[in-house]
Amino acid sequence: FHSDSIKNAYLKTASSVEIAASKNSGFFHILIPADKSDVNLCKTILSATILGYPTPTLYNWDKTGDKMAKISGALDYLRALDSNQDEDMVLLVDGFDLWFQLSPQIMIDRYHEINGRAHERVRGRVGDELMDRSATTQTIIFSSQKRCWPGKDDDLSCYAVPESPLPRYIYGPQTDIDVGDTKNPYLKFRQRWLNAGFMIGPVDELRTLFERALERAEANPNQEGNDQNVLSTIWGEQEYVREAARLSKLPPWKRDKKTTRKAFEPAPGTNYEFGVGLDYESALSIPTVFAEYDSQWLVFSDSKTLDKAFSEYNITDPRATSIQADVANEPAPFNSIRYDKADDWRLPTQSMSWKEVPLYTNLWTGIVPAVIHHNAHRDGLKALRETVWDRMWFQPHARALLNARMREPYKPMAVSKSDGRKWFSTMDGEKTLGAWTDNAEQGGWMDWTDLCPAKDQEEIFRDGKGPWVKQKIGEESAHW
């Protein structure tokens, strides 16, 4: 990785240096593996920018052919960071099929809540002694999916992982049963397995995880599924070792001796604890693969629309009857737009609430995810990246919201409710719409117009007003 690109991206201004030195502040990094520009990458970046996420870094830019580049490129970035950034937060996401829907404040708070619940769940499973002795905790969260892939049933990545903590009959009496749907046998399965398209955690812990991942990848470079397989296997080994430690404390007659699973002998002196866990409820990110019928666009103020969705999916005891408190308590979605032109009546009012805008919602859990991952691919479902783009709550007014975001001063994007820590973007200069890359020849920075040419912006904004032009301070909304 071109480390100068990272060092040019932050720690250059007085405010950034102050943040880096503060014990109660940190930087939030977004990493996206991307080798070229694409309209769908632009949608990812635009959605992140409008919601207030930091400027992303695109790694493996202009590089092709390396099956393990997602692992090695991310590790290069993590290695290049200074040691005083070890507690920074890193979000690593797929870049060509992922949209941000809710704010970084919600993501940070949910991250801590998920880890807190997981901590208690693991403590209840392995006990206080083992929990404390092995320093077992959870700091890295991956998104979850309904199928173990690309592993097979007897692989560690499939059998050794914990049961899903989702309600046992969340999909009714046929939960976790193949109901004979030929297109998706996993229709009624609970989310239980790792999906590597979304992960979040501290720099230090992610660096340790990716060191092991690269070691595994280089030992067997032809693994099916590549990063998905490697990371799933590491998680499976972690959970195997945790369970083995738990069983070792039981009397012999309580241990399960009947197993047909693949043998695994943990190497003496080797660390298998990486603090990895899953976002089972899809509160951070919801992958649509194997879950094509789990979610719908809901307007919570429209009870008829809600009832229609529940009826269509035969949900008799719906959980998605009202909007979640953390979403409802966010600042109103359009409160940042300035109303200073005669035609502003076309824009939503600043008082419009979250329950009045369409939100992609899991019908079975009632949870509105912070991120939508459109990785469902059968029957042409990838086309949803185009056909439902205008369903995103911000899309019809993306230009106005983008202008509003560009006017905001440099400030924390989130303040953690759990510890009061302030999270900042890694950039506080003029270059706020675009991305950093690991391409040294380009100087590291790619402007929005370089990433997203006019034809792509036409698809992104869909307002007939041409490419986005950054407003000067005091300029009226001529480009809205």
Q: Taking residues 375-388, what's their average pLDDT?
A: 93
- How buried is 270 (Cβ within 10 angstroms: 0-12 exposed, 13-18 middle, 19+ buried)? exposed
Q: How far is CA 137 from the centre of its chain?
A: 20
Q: What is the pLDDT of residue 342?
A: 45
CB 113, CB 416: distance < 8 Å: no
Confidence category of residue 13, pLDDT binned at 50, 70, 90: very low
Output Rg (C-alpha) for the chain, integer angstroms. Answer: 23
Calpha distance 457→465 (Å, rounded) = 10
- Any idea which residue has 């199928």 for tokens? 147
DSSP 253: G
Q: Which tops the pLDDT comparison, 163 or 443?
A: 163
Strand partners, 200: 91, 141
Token pair, residue 27, equals 């930087």
- How buried is 218 (Cβ within 10 angstroms: 0-12 exposed, 13-18 middle, 19+ buried)? exposed
Q: What is the pLDDT of residue 10?
A: 45
* pLDDT per position as a tens digit, 177-214: 999 999 999 999 999 999 999 999 999 999 999 999 99
Q: How far is CA 429 from CA 123, 337, 413, 414, in A?
A: 44, 22, 15, 18
Strands 193-202 and 89-93: antiparallel
Calpha distance 39→458 (Å, rounded) = 10
Calpha distance 209→318 (Å, rounded) = 38
In one letter, which amino acid is 432?
T
Number of H helices, E strands in the chain: 15, 15
Q: Is the pLDDT of residue 429 over 70?
A: no
H-run or E-run covering 216:
helix 203-219
With the CA atoms of 466, 470, 472 and 475 taken in that order, what torsion angle do they form, in degrees rounded to the nearest 10?
40
Q: What is the pLDDT of residue 336?
A: 79
Calpha distance 36→30 (Å, rounded) = 17
Q: What is the pLDDT of residue 409?
A: 87
CB 10, CB 426: distance < 8 Å: yes
CB 236, CB 150: distance < 8 Å: no
Calpha distance 165→191 (Å, rounded) = 9
pTM equals 0.93
CB 87, CB 59: distance < 8 Å: no
Q: Average per-residue pLDDT in the chain?
A: 89
CB 165, CB 122: distance < 8 Å: no
Q: How far is CA 230 from CA 17, 222, 283, 477, in A?
A: 36, 11, 24, 49
Q: Taking residues 264-283, what's their average pLDDT?
A: 95
Q: Taking residues 34-63, what's their average pLDDT?
A: 95
